Every structure is written in C-alpha cells, then in structure tokens.
Amino acid sequence: MHIPVLLKEVINFLNLKEGDIVVDATINGAGHSKEICGQIGEKGTLIGIDLDQKSLDEADKELKHSKCKVILQKNNFRNLDKVLEKVSIKKANAILFDLGFSSNQIDKSGRGFSFQKDEPLLMTFKENPAEEDLTAREIVNNWEENNIADIIYAYGEEKFSRQIAKKIVEIRKEKWIETTMDLVKIIEKATPNWYKHKKIHFATKTFQALRITVNDEIGALKEGLNKSLNVLEKDGRLAVISFHSIEDRIIKQFFRNKKEENIGTIITKKIIVPNRDEILKNPRSRSAKLRIFQKN
C-alpha cells in the first residue's frame, strides 16, 4: 500500500476551501487525494494525473465513494495544461506534486527499477515501451563512456561515476548488459569494498541517475512547474514534495525566481520535513521535503 507522505502538512498548507478545483499531478494510490476530496466537498473537483495505469485504477477504487467530483487522466504532468484543456477546466485553486517514486512501480513493474530484483534493464515509466523509446539498457550498452559518467554524476551525485562508467564499457565489450543484476555486479566491481557496507546500497545512485535520464524527469519537472503556475488562480497554491537533492534544488530555485519576478510568495520559508513519528511509521518518508508557493 502506498502511504501518503506529509499528509497533514499538505492539507494544511494547500489552504483548501469547499468548491475548489485541485490538481493532483502525481495521484498514485490517491493517498493525498482522498483527504483533498474531503476538504473540497461535493462542489469541488479533483483532477488526478498519473502515467501509470495501475496507479489510476487504484486511485479510482480509493476515490469511488468520495464526495467530490473526480476526473482521472493518464498522462505525464509535463502536459498538465493539455490535460486541463481536455477536461474543459481553465484554472485550478491548488496543485500538488508528490515526486516520490511509487512503491508499486518499484515492486511490481517488471521494468528494472529496483536493484533488488533481476529484471530487464528498462527503467521507463511507459508500460509498453516501443523499440525507439530510450531505456537504461540502451544507455549502458551504447552510450559513450563520458556521457554515462556525466549522467551518473549529475543525476545520481555518485562520487564513483567515472569508475562505474569505465567498468560498464569494459564489461559490455564481452557481453550485452541485459538485466538489473548484470548492472549491480558491474557497479560492485567498480566501487571499493568500504562503499558496499554503507547504509545506502552501492547501486542506489546509479539506478536513480539512469531512471531520471530515461524518463527525462528533470525536463518534465521544470515544464510541469511552469505550467502549474500558468493555470493557478490568483492566491492559488502549488505544493511540491521532493525526495532527493537534485529535484529539491530545482524547486527551490524555481520558487525563488518566480518570487523575484513578483509572480507569487514562498509560503514555506523553511522546508517542511516529516517528524520522527512519521519516519518510524513510513521509513520511505525520511528524505521527503515539502515546499509551497502562492500565486499573486
């Protein structure tokens, strides 16, 4: 089950009123949306967006008996404006992005997101990727060593990015790198022994970097944030929960820039993080950071 992170804080800071129109840009299992629906009531409308059909099906079940009007759309949040246009909605009172990676996608996708299961090395959010779609397998088998090292460093903040890229290129000369376990073994060979005994698994950062690259997550985030402010009503609020420093830096800078352009106000002067109780109940929440922006 997907547990919503910082639920009370999100509801509190979104400042919801009865009859509001709210966009949950990453609806997942509808953990936040269920509570949002209760706040906006029968006259309110919730538009839930997700790329994953299983998440939408789960959200549909969860929201079946909710008071508010629910509209679910399969899409990338970078197309938020088109989604609203499609359902004939021009403006929203609140928008939520929860950038946490769905536990369903990790555990059940079969597309190689987890380094703890032996699966095809795809890492794409698309359920049925076409031949021309970028995959992690394509990157590790065909990209130049420097390019592989660059993305592992930039999107994984991996200090051994050069060594890992070098080892990938060395091994692929002998055989095609097909599965998650093929890649884990390579990373294991490329990194020093002490690195394998740290709290964070030695493959975490490389896997993160590949997933971000395959799905153009940074480009999608920047686009989604910009489009959100375009469709927000005056005094509407945008809430974003991020889980790693790369995303958080982008959000922080975006909010600062928009404040300087006099487009709105940063509501969260200090980032909001889960308290100890929440972390104990849901360890995956430990790296969550919430930032809120209000449009002028």
Q: Which residues are known binding-site members for S-adenosyl-L-methionine? A: 30-32, 50, 77, 98, 105
C-beta separation of 186 from 167 below 8 A: yes
Name the binding residues.
30-32, 50, 77, 98, 105
- Round to whole Å and give the CA distance between 283 and 38: 26
Q: What is the dihedral of CA 272, 273, 274, 275, to 10 degrees?
A: -90
Are the CB atoms for 66 and 139 separated by under 8 Å?
no
For residue 137, give the H/E element and its range.
Answer: helix 136-142
163 φ/ψ sector (left φ>0, alpha ψ -120 to 50, else beta): alpha
Helix H, strand E, coil C: the string for 210-259 is HHHHHCCHHHHHHHHHHHHHHHEEEEEEEEEEECCHHHHHHHHHHHHHHH
Query: 293 and 255 in contact (C-beta within 8 Å)?
Result: yes
- Nearest CA to 151 among 100, 207, 201? 207
- List 49's β-bridge partners, or say none: 73
